[in-house]
């Protein structure tokens, strides 16, 4: 019998949350030397050179400690910020930077970082991260005023402690939060965060779609059930899984997938509202981190978010999720049966 994700309620200890601040398995083996800049996109080679230099300066900044470390000559900005579209290698560069810099260091997506603040409390999060040489933040985005104040304060505290930052995003740092909330009311916080980073543009087409066909057509329920007969597969009704996600803290979504080799879903439908859609984005990220094939019936994957959602303030999140889920659907075991 296949496993059912809706039957799982994983608990994750605080210590385990801290220990998980490393690049996801997909990027565990990447290095600068394995990054292949597109020859038609010169910004990619330039970004590689900039991030390499940042890795060297960050490693050297950690040779001193305590008062001497803080007194060491540091660049005017504490971080490097990779801005660009989907699938241009920003996360590859960020993870390569993390691997190149000696520890202690931490790596998290922006969502994971804010979730960690909720799980640990702000004071403990500052304490845990203040001893780091580098904090790498993937998919940096501001979705609400609370996140803006929290992250602005966090970066200020860590900057004072001598921590260096690196981030990726699909939005320039001085335009974070646009179309999501009244950014004018939080302009000081946004400008303070932007001032801590050197922005580096990374252009190019999404590598996941270079020369590849359209998303695969949905399967039938029977085909999905057949794939779910594999020993390491899970099988769930999509609507039931969305409801289950609402009962779990998003920091548990990764643990929800532990031991699963392929995720099978019947009855895909568009997300009914924004809250459900954002949970689906987090799940898509955790699936992609683990490169878990997705086998599904119902609507095509590129219809999981409504046209209104794809035109709204969270559209970049939703488009990233579609890009990733389409890539995982192409890995489905159904094509090998």
Q: What's the alpha-carbon Rg for the chain, to the nearest Å?
A: 20
State how far the Cα of 176 lies from the Cα of 154, in Å rounded to an integer: 16
How far lies 198's CA from each of 54, 164, 174, 249, in Å?
A: 10, 12, 11, 33
pLDDT at 83: 86
pTM exceeds 0.75 for this model? no
pLDDT at 132: 93
Right CATH for 31-207 from 3.40.50.300, 3.20.20.70, 3.40.630.10, 2.40.50.180: 3.40.50.300
Beta strands in 152-278 (DSSP E): 164-169, 197-202, 233-237, 262-268
Beta strands in 70-229 (DSSP E): 79-84, 105-109, 134-138, 164-169, 197-202
Given a cut of 50, the residues of the chain with pLDDT beneath it are 63-75, 174, 177-183, 185-186, 210-213
pLDDT at 206: 61
SS3 content of the chain, % helix, strand, coil (to 5): 50, 15, 35
CATH 3.40.50.300 spans which residues of the chain? Answer: 31-207
How many alpha carbons fall within 13 Å on the CB side of residue 210?
Answer: 9
pLDDT at 1: 73
Instruction: Please name the residues in contact with 232: beta carbons below 8 A apart, sequence gap of 6 or more.
Output: 259, 260, 261, 262
Sheet (strand 197-202) strand order:
105-109, 134-138, 164-169, 79-84, 197-202
pLDDT at 175: 53
pLDDT at 301: 94
């Amino acid at each position: 019998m296949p496993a059912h994700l809706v039957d799982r309620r994983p608990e994750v200890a605080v210590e385990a949350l801290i220990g998980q601040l490393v690049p996801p398995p997909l990027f565990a083996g990447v290095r600068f030397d394995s990054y292949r800049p597109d020859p038609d996109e010169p910004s990619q080679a330039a970004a590689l050179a900039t991030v390499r230099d940042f890795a060297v300066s960050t490693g050297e900044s950690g040779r001193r400690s305590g008062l001497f470390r803080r007194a060491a000559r540091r660049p005017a900005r504490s971080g490097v910020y990779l801005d660009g579209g989907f699938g241009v290698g920003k996360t590859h560069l960020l993870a390569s930077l993390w691997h190149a810099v000696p520890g202690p260091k931490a790596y998290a997506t922006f969502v994971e970082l804010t979730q960690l603040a909720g799980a640990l409390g702000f004071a403990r999060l500052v304490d845990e991260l203040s001893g780091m040489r580098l904090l790498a933040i993937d998919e940096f985005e501001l979705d609400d005023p609370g996140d803006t104040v929290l992250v602005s304060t966090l970066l200020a505290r860590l900057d004072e402690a001598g921590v260096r930052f690196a981030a990726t995003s699909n939005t320039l740092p001085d335009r974070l939060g646009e179309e999501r909330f009244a950014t004018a009311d939080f302009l000081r916080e946004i400008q303070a965060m932007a001032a801590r980073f050197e922005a580096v543009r990374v252009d190019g087409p999404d590598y996941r779609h270079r020369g590849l066909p359209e998303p695969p057509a949905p399967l039938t329920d029977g085909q999905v059930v057949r794939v779910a007969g594999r020993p390491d597969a899970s099988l769930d009704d999509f609507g039931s899984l969305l409801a289950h996600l609402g009962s779990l803290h998003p920091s548990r979504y990764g643990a929800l997938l532990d031991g699963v080799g392929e995720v099978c879903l019947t009855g895909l439908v568009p997300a009914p509202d924004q809250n459900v859609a954002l949970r689906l984005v987090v799940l898509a990220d955790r699936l992609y981190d683990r490169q878990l094939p997705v086998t599904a019936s119902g609507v095509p994957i590129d219809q999981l978010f409504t046209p209104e959602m794809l035109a709204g303030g969270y559209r970049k999140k939703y488009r990233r999720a579609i890009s990733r889920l389409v890539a995982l659907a192409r890995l489905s075991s159904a094509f090998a049966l």
